[in-house]
Amino acid sequence: MEDSVLLKQVKDKANVWLTDDYDVRTRTKVQELLDKEDTTDLIEAFYKDLEFGTGGLRGIMGAGSNRMNRYTVGAATQGLANYLKKEFAGLPEIKVVVGYDCRNNSRQFAEIAADIFSANGIHVYLFPELRPTPEISYAIRKLKCQSGIVITASHNPKEYNGYKAYWNDGAQVIAPHDKNIIAEVNKISSVKEIKFKSNPALIQLLDEKIDNSFIQDLLTLSLSKEAIARHKDIKIVYTPIHGTGITLIPKALKALGFENIIHVPEQDVISGDFPTVKSPNPEEAAALKMAVEKAIETGADLVMASDPDADRIGAAVRNDQGEFVLLNGNQTLLIFLYYMMIRRKELGLLTGNEYIVKTIVSTELIKTVAKKNGVKMFDVYTGFKWIADIMYQNERYQNGTPRIYIGGGEESYGFLAESFVRDKDSVSACMLLAEIAAWAADNGKTVYEMLQDIYVEYGFSKELGISVVKQGKSGAEEIEAMMKNFRKNPMTELAGSKVIFIKDFAKLTGKDLIENESVSLNMPTTSNVLQYFAEDGTKVSIRPSGTEPKIKFYIEVRSQVASRAELAEAEKAAAAKVEEVRKSLGI
């Protein structure tokens, strides 16, 4: 039965959007929602306000308080501007960077944000064309700005758009600024408080100088220039999947020395409709299908893809049968960090003061590699703002020499190789993977064989991530109920192996089931994540997504192998165990 109280509240809120404070197009769309007999769309558009969370905004585009539109973007920008003016009141000038990706309405939203910042007396550096998200982070630091935003919904479906806010270190905002900005945004109670009328004198368009500076700084990361020179003709297929990567990644690969970059012309077309894919997510095999086909057609060695805002990387390599296989996010993360540690060791650049960062849901195998090579590893929550926070802390490391950042990433296909950016970066990641392919070739291996040898030396690991989508208000309630059930009825075994440790990051407590004692978890804040660890090394993590209507499950199983020849059997046994764990989770 329809909730009449909720429907009345929704209609009352929608009627406010029919006043002259809103433009004609918006009023027309809202009236259409009110006139529909089926009230589902009306309720979804108005049952709540689109929340400015700790990562900014993300939602379906359209009219309504729970949608991405000029008014929700306007309120977010006005709130951020109000906070900046308070926080940096002592500065003679407050400066921000504004960038955007390929999505429908991204440019419009970026220009609206630039107008509002300028109307509030804030100097705006506006990218006149779409650019990768990591370049916005880079520009904030390079231009010594106090903040910045990028209009993007990353790899979400085409109906979505979003708004990511950054602080003066180029990282997404964290405490206390995140909560303080949210409070300022929530104070905006009327569109009349939003200063839409721009001050053009305060809006400065950026040019190619910032692109060239970014690429030149990225070139300093290379550890194998001679290998690149010897293997500069490696055939690399690259696709931006209709996104911003096309503006920089081919150029950066060529600047690094690679001469054989093969495009997928249909996917070089910039489009927020993503016409050649169902989803522009490089985590999904279907998104790389055309690139793999192009690689087979051209005899290429390596396939790389970036998502719409070019902060995530997907990749495919040839296996020992010469067939293309997709690397998952844990595998690319493992390959990246292994290379950066081992290559530094070869060059005599490991001093014992280096560190890497991974997220808690990423493979535990990385911890084994780091420990064996004398590199400190930090575990953080999902989200690059937490990796950036570790970087910030270590730059200010007081007990001796500041630690040296080697690299950091997450299983969801994000990696950061450089310290002069504070968000995941597929530009540097594509450059790094191409370099690794050249270095592996110099050592008589393919990238696939390199991964196999990592498994032989450090242990085999198989991971599976499963996302269960639950749309809308009812979906959010169902996800909440699932998390409550897992807490109320904790798992006691994983595929026949006894659970020996449980971590609940919502309470920041861990339970050692062998010693029957509780321990505190040293994390900067709480997070709605549960983790189970079993005797045989199996790990399960459960968390609701912070940006999509999903609950995510991460399964990892471990074993030991003595040679490459044993890997096929290990893979088969691991797949069976993963399936058993999946069934026990009821997904």
Question: Using an 8 Å Cβ cutoff, are 570 and 578 in contact?
Answer: no
What's the confidence (pLDDT) of residue 2? 56
Residue 530 DSSP label: E
Q: What is the pLDDT of residue 3?
A: 76
Could you give the CA distance from residue 113 to residue 117 in angstroms, rounded to a whole number?
6
**160-167/57-60 β-pairing:** antiparallel
Helix, strand or coil for residue 161? strand
Looking up tokens 């060791």 gives 345
Contacts of residue 224, defined as CB under 8 A and 6 or more positions apart, other chains included, come to 343, 435, 438, 439, 442
Q: Are 161 and 152 in contact (CB under 8 A)?
A: yes
Asked if 409 and 384 touch (Cβ cutoff 8 Å), the reply is no
DSSP string, 533-554: EETTS-EEEEEE-SSSSEEEEE
DSSP annotation string for 51-93: P-BTTBEEEEBSSSTTSBSHHHHHHHHHHHHHHHHHHTTTSS-
Task: List, for the chain, all residue ranges whose pLDDT scores fall below the cut of 50.
Answer: 1
Best CA proximity match to 477, nearest among 585, 552, 551, 584: 551
pTM score > 0.85 for this model?
yes
Name beta bridge partners: 534: 499
Overall CATH class of domain 233-458: alpha beta
Classify domain 55-207 at the CATH class level: alpha beta
Distances (CA, A) of 545 to 151, 331, 466: 19, 21, 12
Q: Please name the residues in contact with 234: beta carbons below 8 A apart, sequence gap of 6 or more.
A: 258, 260, 301, 302, 434, 437, 438, 441
Distance of alpha carbon 432 from alpha carbon 307, whole angstroms? 17
Length of the chain: 587
CB 356 within 8 Å of CB 380: no
Residue 470 has a pLDDT of 84
Q: Using an 8 Å Cβ cutoff, are 92 and 128 in contact? A: no
Question: Scanning the structure block, which residue is given the tokens 């997907």?
Answer: 314
- The answer to whether the beta carbons of residues 379 and 360 sit under 8 Å apart is yes
Q: What is the DSSP string of 171-207?
A: SBP-TTHHHHHHHHHHH--SGGGS--S--GGGEEE--
> With helix as H, strand as E and coil as C, how does 468-508 read?
EECCHHHHHHHHHHHHHHHHHCCCCEECCEEEEEEEECCCC
Give dist(CA 231, CA 503) in Å, integer.
Answer: 46
CA distance 138 to 213: 10
**370: closest CA among 333, 397, 420?**
333
The β-bridge relationship of strands 123-126 and 95-100 is parallel
pLDDT at 402: 83
CATH 3.40.50 correct for 460-585: no
| DSSP structure string for 372-437 | HTT-EEEEE-SSHHHHHHHHHHHHT--SSSPPEEEEEEETTTEEE--SS--S--HHHHHHHHHHHH
What is the Cα–Cα distance from 101 to 129, expressed in whole angstroms? 8
Residue positions annotated with a catalytic role: 154
Cα distance between residue 75 and residue 186, in whole Å: 8
Work out the mean pLDDT of the chain and round it to a whole number.
95
The token pair at 251 is 């150029």
Q: Sign of dihedral through CA atoms 137, 412, 460, 300?
A: negative
CB 69 within 8 A of CB 199: no
* 8-state DSSP, 131: -
Report which residue type is found at 66.
N
The pLDDT assigned to 473 comes to: 75
Contact assessment for residue 149 and residue 166, using Cβ atoms and an 8 Å cutoff: yes
What's the gap between Cα 501 and its chain centre? 28
Cα(359)–Cα(465) distance, integer angstroms? 14
Contact predicate 122/84, CB 8 Å: yes
| Token digits of residue 134 | 């990591």
DSSP conformational letter for 43: H
CA angle (454 as vertex; 452, 458 as ends), nearest 5: 125
Nearest to 115 by CA among 163, 58, 74: 74
pLDDT at residue 396, as a whole number: 78
Q: Please check whether residue 132 is in contact with residue 427, taking contact to mean a CB–CB distance below 8 angstroms.
A: yes
